[in-house]
Amino acid sequence: MRKRLYSAVSLLFLALLLGAGQVSAQKDSTKLKQEVEVTKAYQPVINTAVKINDIPLIKAEPTETPIFDYSIFSKPVFSTFDVTPVTAAKMVGDPRPEMQKGLLKLGFGNYLTPYGELFYNAQPDKKSNFGMHFRSLSSFGKLNLLNLDNVKAPESTNDAEIFGKRFFHQSTLSGSLAFDRKSFTYYGYTGPILTDVSKEQIIPDFGNKQYFSKGTMNVHLKSETMQAYDLNYDFGINYHYLVSKTGQSENETLLSGDVSKKFGNTIGILNASITYYNADSIRSRFSNSIGPKHQLLMKADPSVKWATKNASLQAGLNYTIFFDEDTSPSVHIWPKVKAEWSPVDRILTLFAGADGYLQHNTYSSISTENPYVDPYHDARNSNYKYILSGGLKGKLSSNTNYVAQASYSKVKDQHFYVLHSVNLYDPTASFRSLENTFSLVYDNVKMLKLSAEVLHAVSDNFSLHLQGNYYSYEMQNQTKAWQMPDFDLTISGIYKPTEQIKFTTDIYFIGSRTGVVFEPDQENLLNGFEVNHQQLEIAMDPIIDLNVGAEYQFSNKVSFFAKLNNFGFQKYEQWLGYTSRGLNWLAGISYSF
């Protein structure tokens, strides 16, 4: 019965999307888009005789809804690109008459780290664009944990993607095929140092290998009309399939449709999507049995926007229906309001908003956030009941951009990562056990977040970017927001003393955090019950991660690069028990063709 309901509702929703597409196809435009700018995340900056200015151009960007996430801990071991992308500015430069088609980068670093990357872009004709990207980055060295245990910590990342666009009279068709594979070992553990024999007896997953292989297909049809009152649309299909070494699999199909139309000073907007989700070989949080999971997520976000020269107001609803075969369907509705007012054009803009949504915590999204999570995990969705935000943005001068924002959120079923053990600090106990894969606990959280961001172009060849966040958490059941910091700060810069030389830097400051290991009550454990009786809180030191890079342009085709990561030599844990590498470097050569 439930499956029939899935099918019926899905067909109805799909019919609405297709109907909107047919209406947009019947529209006509009497004016062609004269200039098309093709951009791609992987597109390289290829050095030619006519140089692009690498210094950011000050340009205000719209603010984004604040979310609760652990993304600050996902910094890669080696950064093969330049400074962290900023949200207050876009990296732009002077136009060039012609761009070379390919870029090859080869390098090597300590910890036995080979690196290779290839970009290729081609434009067969004026109506199409094609490109591809391949990357391989591996590390095979050892590292010291905080307890001074020297462990093997190999890891590798391999990516491949082909992408293209086709330009039509009133629309653009784009698509991509991608594959990425990340492999690593569960090398970390917390607590006192253990012998190899003890680790084998006490930590079941220690040293085990894991990988996540993911294939992705993406197709989009987007309108390209110059007429202000034409119907604008963006229809998409995204599919991915993921497998892991431990036997889990996931496939997800996302159908999306975004349409908007202007009526005078009013714009009608509809963003809609339907997600079919399946996973297998995961441990159900309802039955505790290992098997498949089937879910359906339907979203419709209608809104109306009124805009004048210096003000705008958008009001609507976020509407979500969620189906899960293990539980009853749920319906969620949140108000959505965004307002902006610019009393001084381009100098000061005040903004405020109210929002809410359901965060679909899939198997792959949790594994991406924390790869050392229990591979059989089945995460609950997080319900952002409300997000209230407000702030100001603008320019302090022609060379300085800023954004300051405050938000207050209430989140139901926010997940946190914890460990479990038995007699962790009692070497005389007859039975000892320690997990080094993280379990999930949940709590209802109220979070205050204060954010500030400044981008300053000191000169034509020197720019600085500063971004900081302060967090305050009000927990309902958990003692603390496990492994979440109270602040983070990023300082980035680009300096080009000459056309041939460029220096970059990224400095990360992350506040102190608290990890936790749950131990069961021994009396209950003997009786066959596992009750969290005590929690071993472990202080995690603040992080100061210093990173610099340099590039020398030897000729129009050849350049040399070098990067130093964590040259402050700090040993810190991104996740409890998983120590990062100390000083690591990567150097190599680039060749454009």
3-state secondary structure of 358: strand
Residues 146/489/42/91 CA torsion (nearest 10 deg): -150
Q: Residue 264's closest CA among 228, 316, 232?
A: 228
Report how far Cα 187 is from the mean position of its chain's Cα atoms.
24
Q: Predicted confidence band at 265 (pLDDT cuts at 50, 70, 90)?
A: confident
* Paired tokens of 388: 């209230």
3-state secondary structure of 73: helix
For residue 94, pLDDT beyond 60: no
Decide which of 495 and 19 is more confident: 495
The CA distance from 461 to 446, in Å, is: 43
For residue 528, pLDDT beyond 80: no
Q: What is the pLDDT of residue 99?
A: 53
Helix (H) / strand (E) element for 273: namely strand 266-283
Question: Mean pLDDT throughout 36-46?
Answer: 32
Give Cβ neighbours of residue 530 (< 8 Å, ≥ 6 apart): 520, 524
The CA distance from 463 to 243, in Å, is: 42
Q: Which residue has the tokens 């330009």?
A: 167
* Predicted confidence (pLDDT) per residue in 129-144, tens digit: 999 999 999 999 899 9
Q: What is the pLDDT of residue 5?
A: 47
Give Cβ neighbours of residue 523 (< 8 Å, ≥ 6 apart): none
For residue 88, pLDDT beyond 50: no
Strand partners, 223: 171
For residue 78, with 0-12 CB atoms within 10 Å meaning exposed, 13-18 middle and 19 or more buried, which class applies? buried
Q: Would you say how long the chain is, in residues? A: 593
Q: Residue 56's closest CA among 84, 35, 96?
A: 84
The CA distance from 411 to 357, in Å, is: 10
Q: Predicted confidence band at 64 (pLDDT cuts at 50, 70, 90)?
A: low
Count how many domains the chain has. 1
* Paired tokens of 218: 């993406």
The CA distance from 320 to 299, in Å, is: 4
* Paired tokens of 46: 């290829």
Least confident of 98-107, 286-295, 472-481, 536-545: 98-107
Least confident of 441-455, 494-508, 526-540: 526-540
For residue 592, pLDDT beyond 90: yes
Residue 577's CB: how many other CB atoms inside 10 A?
Answer: 25
Q: What is the pLDDT of residue 427?
A: 85
For residue 249, pLDDT beyond 70: yes
Q: What is the pLDDT of residue 24?
A: 37
The CA distance from 412 to 476, in Å, is: 10
Least confident of 118-127, 230-239, 312-321: 118-127
The CA distance from 461 to 116, in Å, is: 29
For residue 572, pLDDT beyond 80: yes
Q: Predicted confidence band at 58 (pLDDT cuts at 50, 70, 90)?
A: very low
Q: Which residue has the tokens 């379990």?
A: 439
The CA distance from 509 to 511, in Å, is: 7
For residue 6, pLDDT beyond 80: no
Contact 280, 243 (CB under 8 A): no
Q: Predicted confidence band at 69 (pLDDT cuts at 50, 70, 90)?
A: low
Q: What is the CA radius of gyration of the chain?
A: 26
For residue 35, pLDDT beyond 60: no
* Paired tokens of 36: 């098309």
Spell out the alpha helix ranges (H) of 448-574. 522-526
Q: Which domain holds residue 139?
A: 2-592
Q: Which CA distances in Å does 278 have to 112, 239, 586? A: 38, 12, 39
The CA distance from 424 to 434, in Å, is: 7
The CA distance from 3 to 146, in Å, is: 51
Contact 321, 330 (CB under 8 A): yes
The CA distance from 470 to 51, in Å, is: 39
3-state secondary structure of 523: helix
Q: b/e for 1-22, b at 16 or more Cβ within 10 A?
A: eeeeebeebbeebeeebeebee
Question: Mean pLDDT throughout 206-212?
Answer: 97
Q: What is the pLDDT of residue 534?
A: 83
Q: What is the pLDDT of residue 264?
A: 86
For residue 435, pLDDT beyond 60: yes
Q: Residue 387's closest CA among 312, 470, 449, 469?
A: 449
- State residue 37 phi and psi, 5-degree precision: -105, 120
Q: Residue 180's closest CA among 137, 125, 235, 233?
A: 137
Residues 63/66/69/71 CA torsion (nearest 10 deg): 20
For residue 593, with 0-12 CB atoms within 10 Å meaning exposed, 13-18 middle and 19 or more buried, which class applies? exposed
Q: Using a pLDDT cut of 70, give the percent of the chain over it.
A: 81
Least confident of 85-89, 105-109, 541-545: 85-89
Question: Mean pLDDT throughout 19-39?
Answer: 36
The CA distance from 374 to 61, in Å, is: 38
Q: What is the pLDDT of residue 172?
A: 95
* Predicted confidence (pLDDT) per residue in 301-339, tens digit: 999 999 998 999 999 999 999 999 999 999 999 999 999
* Predicted confidence (pLDDT) per residue in 363-407, tens digit: 999 999 999 999 999 999 999 999 999 999 999 998 999 999 999
Q: Predicted confidence band at 179 (pLDDT cuts at 50, 70, 90)?
A: very high
Q: Residue 100's closest CA among 586, 559, 587?
A: 559
Residue 430's CB: how many other CB atoms inside 10 A?
Answer: 6
Q: Predicted confidence band at 346 (pLDDT cuts at 50, 70, 90)?
A: confident
Helix (H) / strand (E) element for 573: namely strand 573-575
The CA distance from 464 to 454, in Å, is: 8
Q: Predicted confidence band at 524 (pLDDT cuts at 50, 70, 90)?
A: low
> What is the domain-level CATH number for residue 282?
2.40.170.20
The CA distance from 328 to 286, in Å, is: 12
3-state secondary structure of 98: coil
Residue 492's CB: how many other CB atoms inside 10 A?
Answer: 22
Q: b/e for 218-228, b at 16 or more Cβ within 10 A?
A: bebbebebeee
Q: Predicted confidence band at 424 (pLDDT cuts at 50, 70, 90)?
A: confident
Average pLDDT, the chain: 85
